[in-house]
Amino acid sequence: MADSVKVALLGCGAVGSEVVRLLHEQADDLTARIGAPVELVGVAVRRAGRDRGDLPIDPELFTTDALGLVKRDDVDVVIEVVGGIEPARTWLVEALRSGKSVITGNKALLAEDGGSLHDAAAEGGADLYYEASVAGAIPLLRPLRESLHGDRITQVTGIVNGTTNFILSAMDATGAGFSEALEEATALGYAEADPTADVEGFDAAAKAAILASLAFHTRVRAEDVYREGITEVSAADVASAKAMGCTIKLLCIAGRTADGGVSVRVHPAMIPRTHPLAGVGEAFNAVFVEAEAAGQLMFYGRGAGGAPTASAVLGDLVAVGRNRLAGVRAASESAYADLTVHPMGEVRTRYHVSLDVADRAGVLASVAGVFARHDVSIATVNQSGRGDEAILVIVTHSAPDSALAATVAELRTLDFVRAVASVLRVEF
């Protein structure tokens, strides 16, 4: 049997500790699958002397010098589960340039500057794997970059953040408002103490950039992704969605445009309850992929957590280990298409607009006139209530998002519109 595959682990938190446990518990199976034993030669942490309970690891392996660990000559593979941009970028670029393969779950770094990592991997002839960066244990990125590599993907639509999906699912099931549902998510451990990255859509936007880059052979960065969170979604919005036979989900949507470019966006949207994504509840993730030859595919499962994410890391480790023993490397980055990423204003969408209006003659005609001036076609109109409780709900046909935004902006200026109660996009 060949010599061992020597691994340096950067980070030993929720994910890193599960990686250590799985390396220990599945040692024999990993040896059989790779063709050589896996040897953990060092673990970089912030505090080397911290009590880590019954973690099956020699305390002598802990170090606070991550860069020194990465530079060691006896390291074959670097696994990074620390997160953040720096110093993780410095560590991984150093590893890749020196020929060490890298496995990372760092979605923020991949979305902001994945190009630097891919360039360093090409320079050093090393593998870069990152299945754990999107949707936890769900096997998603490898199918996009390998199994579907011979097909032409047209759209990727997904629920890729468990926290927001739990919140929206709770609002749909109980009628609760956003704040109440967030409190429940926090109490159950689904939301961080500071949930900003989740509820404002930053986490999903980073994942959308990674998915779009793989699906469309184009470098897409987080800054290219249009982003809206769910903090403005109200119980009334959820009730309106139900009345339309819809539910509200925070979606990442990456698709080809008519002119050959791509659009990438993250925002809450109403979707029909008949769509497969509508039934994805609680903290689960799902990604719906559409390709010209393969048709429609859906990937579903737990999208976060220490054990599911560690499972994805070890899957990458088996692939990397096999490559190193065979003296080969995985296929390099595929960014040949270099498609134009269009801004949100050029994307065609549909709107659901709820207006709190004065109940008087001519209101409906005036509102319709505003839509007509911006060349936005109305699909349905529903008016309910009287007097101070008059509500006008409009659903539009597809139109450029910039035209819809301009329409809503003008509606806000009308004296008989007391408030634009909500604006949501409608998908499918």
In the block, residue with structure tokens 């050029």:
346
User: With the CA atoms of 140, 149, 33 and 123 taken in that order, what torsion angle do they form, in degrees rounded to the nearest 10?
Assistant: -100
Q: How far apart are CA 130 and CA 220, in angstroms?
A: 16
Identify the three-state secondary structure at position 87.
Answer: coil
Answer whether 22's CB lies under 8 Å from 15's CB.
no
Answer whether 378's CB lies under 8 Å from 368's CB.
yes
The helix (run of H) or strand (run of E) holding residue 270 is strand 262-272
Q: How far apart are CA 7 and CA 34, in angstroms?
A: 13
The count of other CB atoms within 10 Å of the CB of residue 139 is 15
Answer whether 102's CB lies under 8 Å from 8's CB.
no
Question: CA of 340: how far to CAs of 60, 113, 363, in Å?
Answer: 50, 18, 41
207 catalytically annotated? yes
The helix (run of H) or strand (run of E) holding residue 312 is helix 306-326
Q: How far apart are CA 92 and CA 190, in angstroms?
A: 29
**CA 323 to the chain's CA centroid:** 28
Catalytic residue, candidates 6, 100, 207, 249 = 207
DSSP letter assigned to residue 184: H
Phi then psi for residue 237, to 5 deg, are: -60, -45
Name the residues annotated as catalytic.
207
